[in-house]
């Protein structure tokens, strides 16, 4: 059997905190214990928020923690054309459409629905499902927008995509076994936008396959996203990795750590004299 391949895939849109340290160390340890490989992937498709400085700081923080990863490091912003190819495959299957509603239109529609006695359905992250252009725009309005320079998102036609993938969509979750995937809970997810040629869901499945990742070990906040990933892997004929979603490190009030929270940023802790050994101890390694 080939050796396991693990990865840590942060987005440099803020400074790393204790939760990232936990995830990165878990992956590194798992690779070591299984004589596997450990890769780092920089998920910087948001080229506005993911700045070169934040990226540099992130690498410095990870080195300070004592982590070693294989090189070259994959930076998603350097591979937009590869995600474009995957998107093209999905388009050829007829499961992608140009969605025209603005955020303000969606917000207004959802507020109206919520005010009625049938609140609008939310995805597992709490965001409203895409209502569909037809509910809000007339055919003429849609045509005019299609022909104009207006913004749009390329969305997955979830009903068609799940039909094509078939009902037996599942993943293997460590310590829990087979989990039934439920991608429909997300509605028509965004695959790309007019100004951003990919999305998190699309690039993560392309890269996990391309980098030969056999074990995706990441936080529980991404547990439900795995349903979308399994759907895209099935449509794109990509291999299925093993999944494990670890507990999140919470702050004193029980909330998930945020990149903006100074008290748990690795930089701040380091400036205050905390050592990498103390971080590992704090995280119970």
Give the binding site for ligand GLU (CB under 6 A): 9-11, 43, 204, 218, 222
Q: Which is nearer to ligand GLU, 106 or 202 (CB)?
A: 202
Please calculate the CA angle 110-185-85 and round it to the nearest 5 degrees: 100
Report, in Å, the least distance between residue 199 CB and ligand GLU. Answer: 12
Report, in Å, the least distance between residue 222 CB and ligand GLU. Answer: 5
Q: Residue 166: left if φ>0, alpha if ψ -120 to 50, beta else—which one?
A: left
Judged by DSSP in three states, 98 sits in strand
Please calculate the CA angle 178-255-109 and round it to the nearest 5 degrees: 80
The answer to whether residues 5 and 241 touch, using CB atoms and an 8 Å cutoff, is: no
- What single DSSP character describes residue 13? S
Comparing CA positions, the residue from 208, 237, 203, 239 lying closest to residue 89 is 237
Report, in Å, the least distance between residue 238 CB and ligand GLU. Answer: 14
Q: Which is nearer to ligand GLU, 11 or 264 (CB)?
A: 11
Q: Which is nearer to ligand GLU, 44 or 133 (CB)?
A: 44
Report, in Å, the least distance between residue 9 CB and ligand GLU. Answer: 4
Q: Which is nearer to ligand GLU, 13 or 170 (CB)?
A: 13
Report, in Å, the least distance between residue 183 CB and ligand GLU. Answer: 16
Report, in Å, the least distance between residue 285 CB and ligand GLU. Answer: 19
Q: Which is nearer to ligand GLU, 43 or 61 (CB)?
A: 43
What does the alpha-carbon distance between residue 136 and residue 152 come to, in Å, rounded to a whole number? 15
Q: Which is nearer to ligand GLU, 6 or 130 (CB)?
A: 6
For tokens 């400085």, the residue is 53
Strands (E), 79-202: 96-99, 153-156, 170-173, 177-180, 190-193
Token pair belonging to 148? 């104009």
Angstrom distances, CA of residue 166 to CA of 93, 124, 170, 227, 228: 14, 21, 11, 13, 13
Strand partners, 99: 153
Report, in Å, the least distance between residue 122 CB and ligand GLU. Answer: 20
């Amino acid at each position: 059997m080939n050796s396991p391949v693990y990865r840590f895939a942060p987005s440099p849109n803020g400074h790393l905190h204790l939760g990232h340290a936990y995830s990165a160390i878990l992956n590194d340890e798992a690779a070591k214990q299984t004589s596997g490989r450990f890769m780092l992937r920089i998920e910087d498709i948001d080229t506005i928020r993911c700045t070169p400085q934040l990226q540099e700081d992130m690498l410095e923080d990870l080195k300070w923690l004592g982590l070693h990863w294989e090189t070259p490091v994959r930076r998603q912003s350097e591979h937009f054309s590869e995600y474009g190819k995957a998107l093209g495959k999905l388009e050829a299957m007829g499961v992608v459409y140009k969605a025209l509603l603005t955020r303000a239109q969606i917000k207004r529609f959802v507020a109206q629905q919520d005010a009625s006695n049938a609140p609008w359905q939310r995805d597992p992250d709490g965001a409203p499902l895409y209502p569909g252009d037809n509910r809000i725009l007339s055919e003429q309005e849609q045509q005019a927008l299609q022909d104009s320079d207006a913004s749009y998102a390329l969305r997955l036609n979830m009903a068609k995509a799940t039909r094509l993938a078939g009902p037996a969509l599942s993943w293997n979750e460590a310590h829990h076994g087979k989990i039934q995937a439920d991608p429909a809970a997300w509605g028509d997810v965004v695959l790309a936008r007019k100004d951003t040629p990919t999305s998190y869901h699309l690039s993560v499945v392309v890269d996990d396959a391309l980098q030969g990742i056999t074990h995706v070990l990441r936080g529980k906040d991404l547990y439900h996203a795995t349903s979308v990933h399994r759907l895209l892997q099935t449509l794109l004929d990509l291999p299925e990795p093993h999944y494990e979603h670890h507990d999140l490190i919470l702050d004193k009030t029980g909330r998930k750590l945020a990149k903006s929270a100074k008290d748990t940023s690795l930089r701040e802790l380091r400036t205050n004299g905390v050592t990498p050994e103390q971080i590992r101890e704090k995280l119970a390694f």
